[in-house]
Structures are given as structure tokens and as C-alpha cells.
Structure 1
Amino acid sequence: MIKGIRPLLRGSTYSGMLFAYCGAVASLPLLPFALLPLAAWRSAPEGVQTALVLLFWAALIGVVGLARITRRALIASARRLLSVPLPDPVAVRRPANSGADRWRTPLWLLLHVVLGWTGALVSGVLFLSGLVLPGGWLGADVGLSLFGWSVRAEGGWQSWVVALGCLLLAATVCAVVTNVLRWLAPRLLGPSSAERLALAAERELQLAERNRLAHELHDSIGHTLTATTIQAAVAGEVLSADPMAARAALRSIEESARAALEDLDYVLGVLREEKAQTAPTRTLADLPELLDRLRHAGAVVEPELSGELARVQGTLSRAAYRILQEGLTNALRHGAGGPIGVRVAAAEDGLELSVVNRTEAGAGPRPGAFPTSGHGLPGLAERVRLLQGEIDAGPDGPQLWRLAVRLPVRWSA
């Protein structure tokens, strides 16, 4: 019993009924325009005239529902008064078969008005009946008469029972109208098929951008932490014997940390949806600086650069830098010392990158085995796959590890 009357005690039931009343009241300014056709049909029967007025009234309401601002207003008010989670409408190009979607808002507006008037009349009559039927408390014999239907109270406790029943029925009508509107709102005011596709595409772009930022942050911060850890150890060992080398290592730590902070500030700004700053760009032109930082960390780097690297620009150059950065970071972190070979070759048919370092026998994952998620090599594999390139990582002879990447190139004129 208590569960059955619980919806009648919720404030959202009556805010939803207020929403229905608003639909009924908002349709009143259109009623005088719906009466205009009667001027040409004065001789028509009364029933035909009533049908014409209702038909033109419904047509005018439907036309109002075609306006985009109407749909935005309805969605905003439904979210607030019906407590229905509706997304904001998305501007999309209407496909050829979007006629049904276009008429969803006019249909909603018509049903909104019909339910508003029905709920207002029925609940109003029941509520008024509940007030006037127990006429004894007014000291007079009172009754209710509406549209030829009349009820008169005869006093006694029976009239109070009937009055209470009328009030409960009025509240029930409010709950029914509110629930019907809540059921209709997602179906008629919710995203259309074209809007759902647009929302899915937008969400996919956001996820791709966040995934790219995660890769950028992992490459930058991971490399910086690895390099600075090694550089700090080198500075500590040579601090007394070679102060110049120690100062050089500390300067390299400062430069690495500053570059990583720029990347971090940019990524956090994007994730917080703040005003976008200029993205820190690291390209193949910054490769010599990266190799110098590795040398300050005590690594022996043997670069081999060939081809017209200056013609490699844009996304490809930035991706190549990050790939080499990740490969060199892994060589520092997991290598067994010795020289690190870095090869960058720009040819007419592609850009070849490779990093070769010494490693302990049997170390590293199985060649070609890249998980579908994670960081490090999986992140590299995903980055290369997005660029439609090829990647191979694994042992290369005794105690050697080789990362090889080949990326397609589109030369600029």
C-alpha cells in the first residue's frame, strides 16, 4: 500500500505535472489563429467547426515544433522538471532518410499539449470535487456540476471518504501524466540516429585525443625520469673527481625536467578542458638535443642519419621523435651497457628508424609479441599502426636488442 502511494508523495511527480501544464498553457496563444478558418466555414455544422479548429490548432503546434529553438527549450525544461537525462541536440547534416527524425519534436509537442490539457482538466475536476463535496464544513449544501455531470454532497462521513478518494485520484492522474511524459521524452526528445552517430564520432575523437596525450605523456615523462635518474647517479659519482662533468649532468637534468614540465602542463590543460596552449613540438630536428642528454647520462650513442630528414615534417616527424625517444629510454632502462646504435634513414618510399642496444641473453619479450593495451612497446605498436607503418622488436643476434620501425612517407613539394 505504501509502495503504491509513494509516487504520489514525490515532488518530481508534481514538477512533471507542472511541465505538462506549461505545455497546455503555451498552446493557448495559437488558439486565436486556429479560429481563423471558421470565417470561411460559418455554415458548417458545429461538430465540423470544432474538428476544424482542433485540426488547425494541432497543425500550428506541429509547425512550432519544427523550430530548432523549440527543441532546445523542450529538452532543457524536460531535464529540469521531468528529471530525464537528455543530451543537448547536436548539429548534424540531415541524411536523406531523416524525415521521421525531423517529425519527432512536433509529435512530442502535440502529445505534450494533449497530455497537459487532459491532465489539467481531469485532475482539476477531481481536486475541486475533493474540496467541495464535503459541504458540511461550509455550513451549506453544495455540489459540483460540469459539462452536464453533477455531484452533490449529502453530508456525513461518506462525503469525506469520497472527497479523499477524489484527491487521491487527482494525484494519481498527475503521476500517470508525469510517467507517460518521462517515457516519451527519451524516445522523442532524445538523440536521433544521426545525432547518435555524431555523438559517437565526437566521443571517439575525444578518446583518440586522450589516448594520444597519454602516449605523449608516457614517452616524455618516462624518458625524463629514466635519463635524470642515470644523470643524477653520474653526477654523484664524479662530483668530487670531475666537477665540470657533474655540472654538465645537472644542466642536462634541468633541461630534461623543463621539457617534461612543458609537456605535462600542455596535457593537463587539455584534460581539464582549459584554453588550449601551443602544443610543445618535438620533431626530428630535436633529435641531436635528445642524443646529447643521453651522452650526459653516460650513454654511448652512435647515430647514423641519412636521407633528407628536413623534408620529414608534421605528424610523421613528431611521431618519429617519440618513437626514437621511447626506444632510447628502453635501451637506457633495460640495456646492459655498451654503445646504443641509432639509425634514421629517409628514403623515397619510407622512413626507417632503428635502435640497437646490448642486453642480457634471453631478455625482453618475444619478437613480434605486442599486447593490445599498456605502455612502452604496446604503445609504440599502436602509434605505428595508426601511421600505417611496420614495427619489429626483439633479439638481434647474441646479446643485442633491436627496435625497427618503418613508416610510409608523403613528401611535401
Structure 2
Amino acid sequence: MIERREFGYFTFGQKIMVRHISLKNPSELFNLIRKVTPLHIYHSAAYYQYPQAPMEEKVWLGAELIFDIDADHLNLPCKEGHDFSVCEDCRSLLPSGSERCSNCGGARVRRVEWVCENCIEAAKKEVYKLLDFLEGDFGIPPSKISVNFSGNRGFHVAVNDEKLLMLDQTSRKEITDHILGSGLDPSLHGIPVDRKRYALTFSYADASWRGRLARTAFELIKDLQKPSVSERLIKLIGKREYNKLLGLKESLLTSWLESPKWEALKPDVLKALVALAIEEARSMIDTIVTTDIHRLLRLANTLNGKTGFLAKKLDADNLEQFNPFVDAVVMPEDPSKVHVVYMPKINIRGEWYGPYRNTLARVPTFLAVLLLCKGIATLA
């Protein structure tokens, strides 16, 4: 149904999208790409009666259910080590988040969001959790779900199912709330904090959030001494209660081995553990993207103008093996000379490069393109 999609693109040096484009077939799409050589190209998740018309005249016919997962939204500790800013006037290296240049005082500061293997692996984890929700909780067949690498720091997941096309924004918001665990009441899943009501049996194989919370809570108990767990628990229950819980760790693991034993936990500890389990088990999707029934998505298997990487269409079964620093690198290896303001160390196509700072470097074209797209290098 390409003829029902809206297309749009940015050209090099242009800050306003050219959009409301209607194409009849793939040949017209290929001709458009050849003609304009876009920096970015997008298509609508929605289908329209008149894709070329202004928004109020398009006549909406439904839209795919779409999800965006971006490592930049995951609050990863690696960001502090590799994100930075660059002054576009004097080309000085600045700390991430700088609003003005400390060297020349200029306000034209570019924030550079770098990406590393840890960013990609964390984003993959969120995709797996999302797929579990879509297939397990909502019963969506895998054949109706597509997964694409964004070409930068994350992944796009789209559901093309006729049963879901006509969902309005409110319905899509309910789906995101379920996936994010927003307003989740543990008692509705059989996990009340009132000990008097423990009459239910629990299994790690239970469906939806009931089983998900049980499995995640068990993993959290196993990981009690990890800083990522201990620091959050201490904030919720205090150092004293945390130490008591830590002292019970081995006995809890034994009693929880076959099935969760919520009654073994004090009410306050139970509340805290469930709160952390919700944080761990949810998939960190972007609600705004999913609820926008007119959203434009990057066209799969085209270049992302922020990196020069391929926004590659993936097989979900091969997601674990996917390495964007190899599989999405499609530019040639021919050497290019660039003057680099700053580049963290990076492994791309199996070779390490950098770090570079205020230096002339001879690098493969695929790396030169990445640096140019990021605005941290100029051709020498």
C-alpha cells in the first residue's frame, strides 16, 4: 500500500522537511531518492486516502502500531563517558550539555550523542522485552511485527495488523501504559501487600505482569549486592532494612526456587521490590511516538544522515547477533583525510580507531562519513 503512505525527506543543509509526497510504486520511490539524494527519508506509519494533501485533508485510514527505543532515553552510565559537545564557531571540545562555548563565548554549540556497544546492547534488551509484551500479552503473531535498526542509537518496531490499524490515540496510550507498567497495581496481579490476603499460588510461568514481576523479583534478589540494585533499594527502604534483607538472601533464594514466596517479605520491602521489578521488567518505549497516529518513520534500508549507517531491516531471530558497527556499515573503505575535533575510541568493522582530538587523521571513508555526519570533523 505504498500509494497510501505519505513520504518526506530532508536534503543536505536543509532544516525544513519536504513532505506530503505521494508515490504510486517502488519505482517512483527509487527515482525520488536518485533525484534528491536525501540526507534523511521517511514514510508515514499511517495510511491516507490522499497522502499528498495537507494534513487536515488527507483522510486518515489507519496506522501501524509503532514503537521507538532509543539508547539516549535509557539513562545509561556510559553516556557520561562518551557524550560531549562541540562549539561550531571555534571547534572547541566542550562537556556534554554545555550551552555556551567556554573558549569563545559562542552559543552555537552542537551536542554530540555518541554510541557504543553498551548502548546498542541495552537497546536490544528493551526490544526483547517489548517483543515479549507484544507476543505474550497482546497475542500479536511474530509475522505481523517488524524490527529495524534506526541507523543510530536504537530500534524501531512496527506492528502491521489489520485488527490494530484503527486504534485511536487513547487506545495506543493504554498499550504504552501497559508496556511501561504505568499505574500498575500489584494487587490486581495477585501480589497484595496485605499479608492476610495471601491465598493465591504463584508461578514463574504465570502470564503477563503477574509472572513478569515474579521472575524479575527473583532476579533482583539474586542481584541484591549489585550497586544498581542496592542503591535503589536503600533509597526506598533504608540501609537498615536493606541489610536485613541481604542477610536473608540465601534463605529467600532457596524458598523462592520453585515459585515466588511474596509472604516472606515485609510489606515495605515487598512494595520496594515490586517497584524495582516494574522498572526492570518494563520496556522503555517512547510514548509520544506510539500515540502519534500521523508519525513519520525513517524508511528502512536507507542511510541515517546522523551516522551514515544503514537503517537496516532485521530478522528478530537474529537480533542478538546483529552488530551495527559491522552489519550497518555500508560506506566504502577507501581512505579519507579529515580534521577531527574529537572522537572517542571506537571499534568499527573489527578495527579500533582513535581516540582523536584536534588532529588530522587518515581513516576509512565509512568512519569519515560518521564523523562528518556528527559534525565533529571536516574534510582535509
Q: Would the TM-score normalized by the shorter structure come out above 0.5?
A: no
Higher strand share: 2
**TM-score class, shorter:** under 0.3
The TM-score, its normalising length taken from structure 1, stands at: 0.17
Higher RCO, Cα 8 Å, sep 6+:
2
Q: Given the two structures, how large is their TM-score scaled by the length of structure 2?
A: 0.18
Higher percent of residues as helix:
1
